[in-house]
Structure 1
Amino acid sequence: MPRLSARDLMTTEVVTVPPATPVLSIARLLADRGISAVPVLDGSGKLLGIVTEADLIRRLAGEADHPTSWLGSLFASAERDAARYARTHGATAADVMSTDIASVEPTTPAAEVAHMMEDRNIRRVLVVQDGRLLGLVSRADLLRALVAPTQQPMDLSDDRIRTAVIAAIRKQPWADTFYTLVDVKDGVVEINGFSRSTEVQRALRVLAENVPGVKSVEDRTTPMPAYLYAAG
């Protein structure tokens, strides 16, 4: 993946709303613009929170809440229940917005942004600096990191490429360096030796393909004999 940052990927034209915006207006705004969230900014431009489709759905679901049972009240938290009530019955952006904002700095690498989205199962992250909103990176924006043109690889010698491939293999706990032999001819990596599994060999191929200077990878391994499995 190209070494892009959040600044390179972010959309700077972000639709925002002030905290006093009515919930119904936000719902219409999301529908009309075909977007799934709007950041909430105060009068000075400071980021306060974000209202997402999930927040609006939560509010709609809150209208159907039933009174807490006697047993449930024994384990209830007044603060938590009060916060939920405000968010599910509030009339403005300030009432229903999420303040636990997934945000990154403009220099955050694209890979870290992707990890955050995957770990938190979210669709976008806000790019913030000194409390100010600079932009937004969505899943669609991340795809640009995959298709962005990369720099042309340096014309490295076969020996340097082989050294780099072996060094990369040794960093991976799943790689079997004892039975894996690497050779390089005219930029083509040849992987010889014994193979423990197709998954490991596929990962080795991908690893080698990502080493600068590698033109292609040829897997010439054979299945590991049973006696070697027993020895291991």
Structure 2
Amino acid sequence: MIAVADFMTKDLVTVRESDDVALAESLLRLGGIRHLPVVRDGRVVGLLTHRDVLRSSQSAKTAARDLPVRDVMTPDPVCVRATSSLAHAARLMLERKYGCLPVADDEGKLVGIVTEADFVRFAADVVRDLDLVAEAVRVRERQGDA
């Protein structure tokens, strides 16, 4: 079984509930990322996405950039454990249409994140490997015909 721990991103960018949306927006832009786990004492309490930031700027009557992250984030996001199977995480993301899953330990401490981009990268690697195997089989078959 491939575990989430074998696959997740461990170098994380996070924000706190009290940080303002302007900071979060800058972190998203500068990091080239779309998902920010929101933590309190290292524990996952929310998730802020690029889409959340865009939505808040369209609907806020006050300057959305000045709002605290807690007003814009999705509270209590679904998390997976590092020991969860990668297939389980993928199925959960597909069924619920999630762009990412925070990875937390048994106490709720954030230890990683799994994103759609991680799965696309994984799929590209698997397809490359399958192409190499297929080419090796073709070469072997040609050698057998000679």
**TM-score computed with the length of structure 2 as normaliser:** 0.75
Alignment of 1:211-230 (within 5 A): none
Percent same amino acid at aligned positions? 30
**Equivalent of 2:118, from 141, 153, 157?**
141
Aligned to 1:45: 42
Matched AA of 1:25: L
Query: Which blocks of at least 5 consecutive residues in structure 1 are unaligned?
Result: 65-87, 150-232
Partner of 2:75, secondary structure, is coil
Residue correspondences, number: 124
CA RMSD after TM alignment: 2.4
Query: Which blocks of at least 5 consecutive residues in structure 2 are unaligned?
Result: 130-146
Distance, in Å, in 1 between the alignment partners of 2:60 and 2:17 is 22
Q: Post-superposition, which runs of at least 4 consecutive aligned residues in structure 1 deviate over 6 A?
A: none
Aligned to 1:75: none
Alignment of 1:98-177 (within 5 A): 98-129=74-105, 130-142=107-119, 143-144=121-122, 147=126
Contact 1:90 1:96 in 2 (8 A): no
Q: What is the Cα deviation at residue 55 of structure 1?
A: 1.2
Higher Rg: 1
Partner of 1:113, secondary structure, is helix
Deviations 1:111-139 (A, max 9, x none): 11111111111221111111100100112
Partner of 2:74, secondary structure, is coil
Aligned to 1:55: 52
Partner of 2:112, secondary structure, is strand
**Equivalent of 1:32, from 23, 30, 33?**
30
